Structure formats: structure tokens, C-alpha cells
Structure 1
Amino acid sequence: MKVYLTIDFGSTYTKLTAIDLENEEILATSKAITTIEDDIMTGFNNAFVGLEEEISSKTDLEKVEFVRKVACSSAAGGLKMVAIGLVPDLTADAAKKAALGAGARVMKTYSFELNHREMQEIKDSPLDIILLAGGTDGGNKNCIIHNAKLIAEFKLDVPVVVAGNKAAIDEIEEIFKEANIDYYIADNVMPKLNKLDVEPSREAIRKVFMNKIVEAKGLGNAEEFVSGILMPTPAAVLKAAEVLADGSDDEEGLGDLIVVDIGGATTDIHSIANGHPTQAGVMPKGLEDPYAKRTVEGDLGMRYSALALLEAAGTKKIREYLGDADKEVDVKDHCNYRHDHIKMVPQTEDEIKFDEAMAMAATEIAMARHCGTLESVFTPLGAMYYQIGKDLINTPYVIGTGGVIIHSENPHRILASGNFNANEPVHLRPRNPRFLVDRTYILSAMGLLAQELPDVAVRIMKKYLIEE
């Protein structure tokens, strides 16, 4: 039996998925606590023992041939970046969109010419990579060159992906070579005004991740066993979403879709859609969103960010999702406990109910932030409406993943909290989507598989994503 093994070195758990290529089925899954502080292979080996036990219970282990072993990782906080651009609403925003789509956690975005205080702040940050953008092709090049000189002056010891005005590239290369800065050149993230081109910079970021970050995170030990650590975990999930939406050569895709991924530290939303206006008389405004878009809400997590979620949602919203029967619950106390006990697994009905109320609040807020909005402007001819971001009202599918959704007996209710709300019509959230749940936690695995076998990945996702 030919088996394709995928490994996700997560911040909390290392997750293994064994895929039977001949029957296009999930043969076995296993997970164990990630041991990033010691040797990451310890956690992997623990998970692998569990995987072998499950495989041997189904088939003869001696007949199993692991034809490929590939991995993704978000261990040790994932890929931490800052994005630097020119104008905040244009190239700085374009740089941020490119970084997020590559699976990075964007800690901060800077714009205009950096000053020494900002550069010191960047130098003192626990960064993995910098994305340097600025200016359309043939436009302003003074800003990006100024920022490149400061990076060289401060001798920043992190890789820099340069994805700005092509007219400045030659000079920036000279600056970085002289200062011995590790840099990578990619096409401009915004070659024309309001026109995004994020894929080249995303690919450059992925290469940096493979070449540099893997070793820095202590993941080099794993490469003796696996064929390669291909990408950050969020990039693998986005890849899975994209191939499921678009399909492959031999398999039809599902069309536009959204993935809601609720974790302990963040809530990530991925959307695969053009998001063009669907309502008459609405005009797009500002920088277009990428077709494959990811947003990361660092204040909407179930454990690490429980207190930030409480601050973002407010006690009232969480109580609304708890229902009238729980008016006496001390919401702050429950959030404090989860923040202080990040590995807490809810056991009682009350604990599960509170977790799901948090998840509903996180989904509602994260979807409102991710989806586009309408802005009304009054003119002598009457009111006009502009759309900022994506119109996702007619999105046919929303897919839920993350522990709180996967283990819920009512994931439909959690995901429905992100739907269109007539009381907030300016938020262009999906109106009547069908809900699918990643019960077997396979999205990151399918993103890895899709790199080489997209047809198989699409067919397996169609089989294992369960409609609720």
C-alpha cells in the first residue's frame, strides 16, 4: 500500500495524516504535544507511534510504503514578519496582504520613510523576515531606497524580501550586498495603482521559510525524516482552500468559499473569491483584495488571546451567545482561566458551552473584519455607495476548522454567527452559505498533498469535508 504522510508541526500539537493514495482515503491520523523547546522530533515520534498503532489496526504495517513524507509548520509562533511600504492605504496595505497570504503573522505595518526610532523598534522585535515594498513601477523610488539604507545601517540580521518599485531594485541590491544583508528580490506587490500582484512575493517568502526559518526554529532535525518542510501551516490551509475552490485538471472545484479557522491564539479567515460588487449602483473603492485572501485576528483566540477576545467582543456579546440561562456566569473569570491554562480542554457541559460562545463571538468579529464593507457618500445626485474589500454575500460555502468547531456537536451555530446580519448591512458577509466541517483536521494535509497531487487532494476533501 502506497501511503503519503503529511506532518503539521503546530504551535501546540504535531499532527500526522497518513493518506492511502490507491484508495484515496485517510488511512490514519495522530497527534502529540509539539516539543519545540527540546527536540521537535520527540513530539513527532510520540505522534508517529500512535499513527503506526492505528495503521496496524487496519492493515498489515509491513505492507505500508511511505512514498512521500512532507511537512508544514507553525511551531514557535509561526512566521513573524513586518511589512514596510510607502502609502498606508496602498503599498503598505499591499505588502501586508502579500505577507498574510504567505502564511505569515504580520506583527506591524510601517509606511513612508522610516525613522531611527522605528528602525530600532523593528530591530528589537522577534522577527523572522521583513517584506520591503514601496512605490508603483516607475513611480516614487526615494522612499524604498531610504528604507533599504536604514535596514543596512542598522545591520538587521533577518532575511528581507524586496517587492517594490522595479526602478529602485538595482540600487537596493548594491546597498544590501555591501552591508551583507540577506535579501530576496520579487516582483512589485503593486506594479500599478490599485493593482495587486502578490503571488511572486508569497513564493519568495515561502522560499525564505524553507531555506532559513526551518533551521532557526530547530526544525532542521525533522528534515532527516521528511522529504521537506514546504511551507507555513496557514499557507498550506490557503492552498487547500484554493484548490478546493478552483478544482484541478480532472476535478471540478466547489467555487467561491470561505474557511473559518479558530485557534488558541488567533482566528484566521481565508476567502477564495473575486468579491466584486453584486449590488446595483455599488462602485469598488481602494486597493483590491487578493483572490485568495487570508486575514489573521490576533485578538480573537480561544486560549492565548482569551482576554483580548473578551476586550474585542465585550461581556455583553459573549452573554448573548451563552443565552439567558447563563446571566450569572462570570465571563471575565472564565476568560482569565483560559488565558492562564492554555492547554485546557473543556470537559463539562458548561465549559463546552462557554467555549462555543467565545467561538461564536470570534467568528462574528473576524468575518466582519475580513469581508468587505459598504460606505455611503451623499452627493447632489443622492446617495452613492462604495465597496471597500470583498463582497462575499453570495459565497456558497463556509468551511469550519479548528478544535472548537471540529469537536462541537453544533458547528452550524458557530459558523452561522459569521453570516450576514440585517442589523449591520454594511458588512458584506455571506447570506445563506452551506456549512462544511473539517472533522478529520485534513486541510493543512491537503494543502501539502495538492502541491504534487491536486486531483487526489480535491477528491479527498470532497469526501471528508462533512456538511452540517
Structure 2
Amino acid sequence: MKIDLLFAEIGSTTTVLTAFHFGLKSKIIAQAEHWTTVNEGDVTIGIERALSKMKEILGEDIKWEKFAATSSAAGGLKMTVHGLVYDMTVRAAREAALGAGAVIKYVTAGKMDEFHLQKVMSIQPKLILLAGGVDYGETETVIHNAKMLAKLQLDVPIVYAGNIAAAEHVEYILTNAGKKVYVTENVYPRIDYLNVEPTRNVIKEVFAEHIVKAPGMEKIKDMVDYEIIPTPAAVMTTTELAYEIFGDCLTIDIGGATTDVDSVTEGSPEVQEMLVSPEPFAKRTVEGDLGLYVNAHNVINMMGEESLRNQFEDYDELLTRISPYPISDRDEYFISKLATFCVQQSVRRHAGNKKHLYTPTGRKTIAEGKDLTAVKTIFGTGGFLSRSKYAKEALESLTHLHKIHPMELLPQEGIKFLRDKHYIFAAIGLIASKLDKDIAKQLLEIDIEEY
């Protein structure tokens, strides 16, 4: 059988293969999956096994016109972020990094010293993001930080996304120290203005170079017809595409290791008037302690083991069977309790909040962080939210969350919950950015369904 695109999403726990046909009515031909085989030293083993399953499903051999992949199997792009003032350039740089699929391990504000360098060395990041200052503003701090980073005995690229007036000086310092430097536009060029997209794009480029260092990834780089992009970045692209169809929306992606939340919304006019600092229109957060397999024990600890023991008399047995592939309804129901917690906590962490200030003229209410009050559509993706019969229950737990936490900028009444039923949000994002946006929209419309 000849197919137009074979797509692989290589996750931390599972690898999913999807075969697509493109035409007047683009469609999915077949899908198969297997454990991601990083522990076997070669992720292509998992792809080959998934491909064998797909051939069994179709009952014939497969030939494809193009092959593409997204991945989070290398553990994400571990990085550190260094800026001038936390509430300004550091926060802007952090938004850019998370939107590109990076995993931020350390953040500093102000002038760095030897302690900060030792901390960076202990983390061993794959990328360092240096920012600081509005354009043509203060340059002393970012130049000082460039000199400090030049001392690092680490062979990792450094992205500079700070004050344009210091760009040439910073590049000179770092390149003379033998560092690979990417200079891009300032993430915070002027007060109350975020410019995250140029930095996100550079980070995605670096990710594509880094990802081939995962076991077997160098083989995949030779197989694919497009660069490998981070799965979280592809899901963000799909959420932005969904905004064009559905308006203000949110995507929740629960994986084995993390829970990611992507929102595309300006927020409500009422809250916008209260905001004290800008937020990106498209925002991503990643919760590295919320996952259903690798981080299941972290979730249980946060929920309270005693509470789960009271609900499940066979708790100890269920704990030993936690897996991306539950073997019984009882196991799936147990995991759904963890998933519900991940859904609620990840959205609450993603959302901003309101605060009361007391001024000489009386009480004033301000808002900080991302405003989700205008969100009307929430998408569920990832193995559990795409496929579990308990996914609807987990997502609908958000319905009344704003009443329990009235000072948080959470989604309000009248939410529509939609499922990525074929688990192809990452594929749609790649197709939109690398192949054809119209085809991506077609696939999105046939993929989603109400819970």
C-alpha cells in the first residue's frame, strides 16, 4: 500500500505511528504503537515494531511518500535562563523557552556570580538562554553575564535575546570564548511588550540538533524528510490552528512524565483592564512533576496516599500495575483519579490570579498571569485524554473549579470539551508548519469529537 505520510510521535513512554492519505478528503489509513525503546539503546526499534503491527493491521506492506517525526524521547531540551529583572526579561525568556518545548532547570535574575556558574555546571544544560534589558536600555548586567557565561567549561550553544544595543558586544565576548552563539530579537524590547516568537524559533532549531543525540535518533534524522521538531511545540501549533476555528481555547496533554497546557486567548476585556504585566497570546506551561507513569508516585504523594487507600482497598496491588497500557478496568479507573488531579493542578498552575491591593484611595483589584476566563473550548490529548473512557470525567472536573477558586483566572461556565480521538495533535502541528496548513485543518476537523 502506498501512503502519503508516515508520522512517528516518539514519546517518553510510547511511540505512535500514523499513516495518512492526503487528497480532497485527507484521512488516517492506520495507526499502531509500541513502547519507546530508549532503554534498548535505539528508538528505531520501537518504530520498527510499531510498523510491523501496522502491516499486520492492514494485511499488506507499506510504502510512503514522506516520513516525519516529532519527539520528546530525549527528555526535552534541558536549559537555563538568565536575565535582568525576573518580572520582565526573565519571565519573557521563560515564556519563549516553554513555548518551544524546552525544559527549564534554572533561572537567574540580575548579575551572575561563581555560585550561579557552579549551579549551571551541575545541571549540564543543553542550551543557555541569555536575555536582559529593554532595547537601548541598561547594558551593564547582560554584558557582565556574558563574561561570566564565557568562563563555563561547557560546550553548549547560547541564545542571546536581550537588549539590541548590547548584542554585538555579547556576541564578541562569547564567540571569542569559543561558544556557539545564536543572536535573535529581544524577548522584551520595550516595557509591557513580549516578543517571544523569534526566540522560540531559534530554540526549536537547537532542539532539532540536540534531539539526534538520543539513542537511535541519528538514524531517524537520516530517515525523515523534515526536521524532527519537539512534540510540545507541534501540539502548541495545533492549538493555535484550533483557535482559528474555535476561538479562545486550551489544550491539556497528559503524558507519562509531564502534563503540558497550551492556551491561545487574549482573555476577557474585564480582566485585561486589571492586568499589571503582559502575557503571551499563546502560552505553554509544562508540569514536570505531573505524569501518569514516570511521575505517578509524585502525583500520589501530592494527592495524599491515605486518600487513595480509602478509595481503593486493593491500592498496593494497583500501584504495582501502573502502566501506559492498563490491563483492567480497575487499573484504568485508578489511573483516572491521578489524571483528574493532573488536569486540575496543571490548569490552575497555568492560570493567573486576582489580588486585592489596599491603596490610599481604597481597595483595588489587580490581575497577574494568564487569563483563561474567555476560554470556551478545551481539548484533551495524550494517551489517557485521547483514549480512556474516564477522560471525560477527568476533564469535566474543571467545570466548577472557578467557583472553588474564585480569585484564579480559570475557565468559566459553558465550556465545550473535545477529544483528540486519534491522538494526532502532534502530527497535525507538524503538517501545519511543514507541509500544508489546509490539510492540517482538514485533519483537525475529522479528528476532534465531543467527549
Q: TM class by shorter-chain length?
A: over 0.9
User: Is 1:272 aligned to 2:264, yes or no?
Assistant: yes
Superposed displacement of residue 315, structure 1: 4.9
Superposed displacement of residue 157, structure 1: 1.1
Aligned to 1:250: none
* Deviation readout 1:110-150 (Å, 9 max, x if unpaired): 11111112111212214211111111111121111111111
**Mapping for residues 168-183 of structure 1, pairs under 5 Å:** 168-183=166-181
Equivalent of residue 459 in structure 1, options 418, 442, 447: 442
Superposed displacement of residue 40, structure 1: 2.2
**Counterpart code for 1:446:** I
**Mapping for residues 256-295 of structure 1, pairs under 5 Å:** 256-278=248-270, 282-286=273-277, 288-295=278-285
* Deviation readout 1:198-236 (Å, 9 max, x if unpaired): 000011111112234424664111122211333111001
Aligned to 1:28: 30
Aligned to 1:384: 364
User: Is 1:223 aligned to 2:221, yes or no?
Assistant: yes
In 1, Cα distance between the equivalents of 2:65 and 2:211? 26
Aligned to 1:19: 20
CA spacing shift, 1:276–1:189, aligned 2, 3 Å: farther
SS in 1 for 2:212: helix
Equivalent of residue 74 in structure 2, options 68, 73, 76: 76
**Counterpart code for 2:46:** G
Unpaired runs of 5+ residues, structure 1, are 247-252
* Deviation readout 1:220-277 (Å, 9 max, x if unpaired): 111222113331110011011111212xxxxxx2111100111121111000111244
CA spacing shift, 1:13–1:289, aligned 2, 3 Å: same
Aligned to 2:55: 52
SS in 2 for 1:121: helix
Superposed displacement of residue 349, structure 1: 3.5
User: Is 1:308 aligned to 2:303, yes or no?
Assistant: no
**Mapping for residues 63-462 of structure 1, pairs under 5 Å:** 66-215=64-213, 218-246=216-244, 253-278=245-270, 282-286=273-277, 288-315=278-305, 326-327=310-311, 329=313, 337=319, 343=323, 345-419=325-399, 420-431=401-412, 432-451=414-433, 452-462=435-445
SS in 2 for 1:308: helix
8 Å CA contact 1:236–1:443 kept in 2: the answer is yes
**Corresponding residue pairs, total:** 445
Aligned to 1:8: 9
Superposed displacement of residue 307, structure 1: 3.0
In 1, Cα distance between the equivalents of 2:210 and 2:349? 32
Unpaired runs of 5+ residues, structure 2, are none
Superposed displacement of residue 425, structure 1: 0.5
CA spacing shift, 1:117–1:421, aligned 2, 3 Å: same
Superposed displacement of residue 445, structure 1: 0.6
SS in 2 for 1:14: strand
* Deviation readout 1:288-307 (Å, 9 max, x if unpaired): 22111100111212222223
SS in 2 for 1:202: helix
**Counterpart code for 1:428:** L
**After alignment, is 221-230 or 158-167 more displaced?**
221-230
Q: For the aligned residues, what is the CA RMSD?
A: 2.3
What percent identity do the matched residue pairs reach?
35
Superposed displacement of residue 328, structure 1: 6.1
Q: TM-score, normalised by structure 1?
A: 0.89
**Counterpart code for 1:284:** L
**After alignment, is 31-40 or 290-299 more displaced?**
31-40
SS in 2 for 1:173: helix
In 2, Cα distance between the equivalents of 1:202 and 1:279? 27
8 Å CA contact 1:261–1:269 kept in 2: the answer is yes
**Counterpart code for 1:414:** A
In 2, Cα distance between the equivalents of 1:66 and 1:449? 15
